[in-house]
Amino acid sequence: METIEGTVENIIFQSDDRQFCVFRTKCTSLGLVTTVYKGPAPFMGEMIRARGEWTQHARFGRQFSVTGYQSLKPGSAEGMERFLASGAVKGIGKAMASRIVAHFGKDTLDILGKAPERLAEVSGIGAKKAKSIGEAYNMISDLRELMLFLEENGVSGNYAAKLQLAYGDTAITRIKANPYSLITDIDGIGFKTADRIALSLGFEPASEERVRAGIGYALTLAASGGHTCIPEEELLRYASQVLQIDFTDVETVFRKMIANDQLRTEDWGGQRFVYPEYLYRAETGTARMLRALRDHPDSLGKVNVEKIIGDWEAEAGIELAEAQKDAIRSSLKFGVFALTGGPGTGKTTIIKGILSVLKRAGCTVLLAAPTGRAARRLEMAAGDKAQTVHRLLEYTVTGEFGKNADDLLETQAVIVDEASMLDIYLFYHLLEALPLGCRLILVGDVDQLPSVGPGSVLKDIIRCGKMPVVRLQEVFRQAEVSPIVRNAHRINRGLLPECAADSDFSMTEFADEEMAAAYITDLYAAATKSGGWQSLQILSPMHKGPCGVQNLNSLLQDRVNPPSARKEEIRQPGGATLRLGDKVMQIRNNYEKDVYNGDIGQIADISGKAVKVWYPERPDGEYVTYGDGETDELQLAYAMSVHKSQGSEYSRVVLALVPGHYIMLQRNLLYTAVTRAREKVELVGTKTALQTAVANDRTRRRYSLLKERLQESGDL
């Protein structure tokens, strides 16, 4: 780390969310320095001392990348005037700044802070104006003091604005009293940041406040790992590792929290499980509402099920297998029903059949899926409107669901496709919005990767033995000819896929991971040479490493869309570069823009700070525009993780499979990856990595008691 000191000459760029800025600093020995900081910009004319490191940007040259800075009082009258003229202090413009500094000279800032009433001595400033200027100056002084306090305690000063908004002028006092309150009070501040402040302020490592926060953090980490709960012993051991203190110190505080009813627990099978409050409510509520829906389906009146099925078969020109007929019968008979099966087993046909038969029986039916791409696939397959579960529930940007127990969905049946992607929290909110008597049909491949969020909803419903389930196992003749379908089922049975160079399922071996990455780059470049960027998708199990998503995206961007004078670029807050023509992916649902997590498009225009993206699945000529501060919703999509590909389908898939991915090489991940392809799968890597993935069926257990809660619900 190096340190520079100087005066802020001008602000080149400041993002709307104040999380990224570029400015020029005038240093005595270095001259003008382009300075980059992930946080709010300082004021023009302000003197700063910044620490960071020198970097070389491909387009903008040498820059000083700041990790933190502190504000210094301007050392000259000229500096003070520039500072006040910058608009930093509300009510002072350029002319007034000149008059104030001319009158008070080097004492200007002391007057502003300690005796603002004296500003009335300056021509054009009355007593009322002097008072408001003094208040405005004190506000930014408080902010600068807070920034300095944070920086001195090892935390970025860019949190200062949020803290001042939440705590006002008591911010420093309240933080000193209990830094861990920041975790719940301030969005974006987690345990690690709060802990850094606390330890810097002298809090004891085993203090009760720290241990309580550490236990909460350990529960949060467990949830991010897919668990809805965690055994007590495991939680305490994990918390002691996180906090780097003795197990007994954690246990003492834990017992106190239990006695004070500050933690949610459940005793089961001789173990005590601990929950975050919201997941306890979601899991217990899910079990209760599933039982109610299962046991109280609305009567369909006198319905001749076999005739309705027969009529639909004749109309569709197909003959259903007995398991497929069972699935349709179950959707009419039961309030909750799960349908699962691998590729080629006819799940899409059954969704059409269930939809048609339910409608013929007089039901209104809604279709949904967890992601936007999955919803669009469902809509195309079923020939009826489908939407994301979030949109179905009228989810808002504030994190609330418009459809809930107080405002139920108006429907008699809901079909959810790709149900293996449902986490317990979203599923709970879906159930909460269903009227009693509504039929719920869950369709998905239970052998794929589980949801990104906590829980294993579909698997628990299927395994509990108390919910109606049909598992499709017969692969139909038209699907059998596909090597992708054949090999997917082989992988699922623990057998190696059959790869052949001249088939639609091949493997190219490379022992060297950098050579594998170079080959994937060549492969993609050749496949997309004629502009067909939609024809091929690169997948990888991990983000890091030579064959990880990040490096592959960097290599592919440089190869197929290199920089040029004709291509505009924009730098994202995180430092990545987006370029005209880049293949990009939306990484979270945006209902205002009608674009969803996993949607893939191409950058069609960059004008200033605005980026336009063309998504091929939208109407012709309709673009999505991302304004300043919104491009963090996009990331390069030449390559993506297997997890991100869930719910999507591509013509051709290339999967990197190398020993460096060892920690992620699991059968369900490989199975999920190959079933994303419609026409062709190419594996690139080593047979050792492939064998490891196929053999590893020991998927990491997800702690959840949903299955056990459902098993208490009595027989069907």
Mean pLDDT of 24-41: 86
Measure Cα distances from 500 to 245, 504, 673, 685 in Å.
Answer: 55, 8, 18, 15
pLDDT band at 531 (very low <50, low <70, confident <90, very high): low
Contact 127, 98 (CB under 8 A): no
Structure confidence by residue, pLDDT tens digits, 557-593: 999 999 888 888 888 766 688 999 999 999 887 877 8
Please name which of 488, 549, 559, 498 lies closest in space to residue 523, comparing C-alpha atoms.
559
Q: What is the mean pLDDT of residues 167-180?
A: 87
Confidence of residue 714 (pLDDT cuts 50, 70, 90): low
Backbone angles phi, psi at 176, to 5 degrees: -65, -35
Pair 383, 335: CB distance under 8 Å: no
One of 3.40.50.300, 3.30.450.70, 3.40.190.10, 1.20.120.1760 is the CATH number of 495-695, namely: 3.40.50.300
Is there a common fold for 2-149 and 208-275?
A: no
E strands, 302-424, where?
336-341, 365-369, 386-388, 413-416
Read off the pLDDT band of 76 (50, 70, 90).
low
For the chain, the average pLDDT equals 88
pLDDT in tens, 191-207: 998 998 899 889 999 99
Could you tell me what percent of the chain has a pLDDT over 70?
94
* Structure tokens given for 151: 């920086």
Residue 429: is its pLDDT beyond 90? yes
Average confidence (pLDDT) over 144-161? 72
Provide the pLDDT for residue 145.
72
With a cut of 80, say whether residue 139 has pLDDT above it. no
What pLDDT was estimated at residue 226? 92
Residue positions forming the annotated binding site for ATP? 344-348
> Is the pLDDT reported for residue 10 higher than 90?
no
Instruction: For residue 254, give every residue at least 6 positions away whose Cβ sits within 8 Å of its Cβ, in sequence order, or none.
Output: 211, 215, 232, 235, 236, 239, 263
Percent of the chain at pLDDT > 90 equals 49
Q: Which of 673, 684, 655, 666 is nearest to 512 (CA)?
A: 684
The reply to whether CATH 1.10.10.2220 applies to domain 208-275 is yes
pLDDT-derived band at 33 (thresholds 50, 70, 90) equals: very high
Q: Where are the domains of the chain?
A: 2-149, 154-201, 208-275, 280-478, 495-695
pLDDT given at position 68: 78
Per-residue pLDDT band at 434 (split at 50, 70, 90): very high
Angle at which helices 208-224 and 247-259 pack, to 10 degrees?
Answer: 90
> For the domain 2-149, what is the CATH code?
2.40.50.140
Range scoring the smallest mean pLDDT among 80-89, 386-395, 453-462, 561-570: 80-89
- pLDDT surpasses 70 at 453: yes
Greatest alpha-carbon span in the chain: 96
61/49 Cα distance (integer angstroms): 22
Q: What is the pLDDT of residue 61?
A: 82
Instruction: Report the candidate in 111, 91, 82 with the shortest Cα–Cα distance to residue 119.
Output: 111
Among 706, 669, 671, CA closest to 227: 706
3-state SS class at 606:
strand
pTM above 0.85, yes or no: no
β-pairing verdict for 271-275 and 365-369? unpaired
Alpha helices by DSSP H, 317-362:
322-333, 347-360
Read out DSSP for 464-477?
Answer: TSSS-EEEE-PPPH
Residue burial 230-261, b: 16+ Cβ < 10 Å; e: rest: bbbebbbebbbebbebeeebbbebbeebeeee
DSSP label of 619? P
Q: What is the pLDDT of residue 701?
A: 80
Exposure string over 697-710, b if 16+ CB within 10 A, otherwise e:
eeeeebbbbbbebb
Instruction: With cut-offs at 50, 70 and 90, classify the pLDDT of residue 508.
Output: very high
Which residue's entry shows tokens 């502009």? 531
Distance spanning both ends of the chain, measured CA to CA: 66
The band of 89, judged by pLDDT with boundaries at 50, 70 and 90, is: confident
> Stretch 13-24: mean pLDDT, rounded?
79
Among 307, 332, 480, smallest CA distance to 413 is for 332
Position 74 scores a pLDDT of: 65
Per the model's pLDDT, the better-predicted residue between 69 and 517 turns out to be: 517
Band (137; pLDDT cuts 50, 70, 90): confident
pLDDT at residue 667 tops 80 = yes
pLDDT at 478: 60
**Residue 164, pLDDT above cutoff 80:** no
What pLDDT shows up at residue 67?
81
Instruction: Indicate if the pLDDT at residue 456 is higher than 70.
Output: yes
Cα 384 from Cα 378, distance rounded (Å): 8
Closest CA to 43 of 89, 101, 83: 83
Lowest mean pLDDT among 85-94, 206-215, 624-633: 85-94
pLDDT surpasses 70 at 620: no
Classify burial at 141, counting beta carbons within 10 Å of its beta carbon; exposed 0-12, middle 13-18, buried 19 or more.
middle
234 contacts 271 by C-beta, under 8 angstroms: no
Task: Check whether 547 has a pLDDT greater than 90.
Answer: yes
Which of 198-207, 234-243, 395-404, 435-444 bottoms out in mean pLDDT, i.e. has the lowest? 395-404
- SS3 call for 63: strand
**pLDDT exceeds 80 at position 161:** no
pLDDT at 75 over 70: no
DSSP letters of 419-459? GGG--HHHHHHHHHTSPTT-EEEEEE-TTS---SSS--HHH
| Superfamily of domain 280-478 in the CATH hierarchy | P-loop containing nucleotide triphosphate hydrolases (3.40.50.300)
CA-atom Rg of the chain in angstroms: 30
pLDDT value at 427 more than 60: yes
> Does residue 477 surpass a pLDDT of 60?
no
pLDDT band at 540 (very low <50, low <70, confident <90, very high): very high
pLDDT confidence of 107, banded at 50, 70, 90? confident
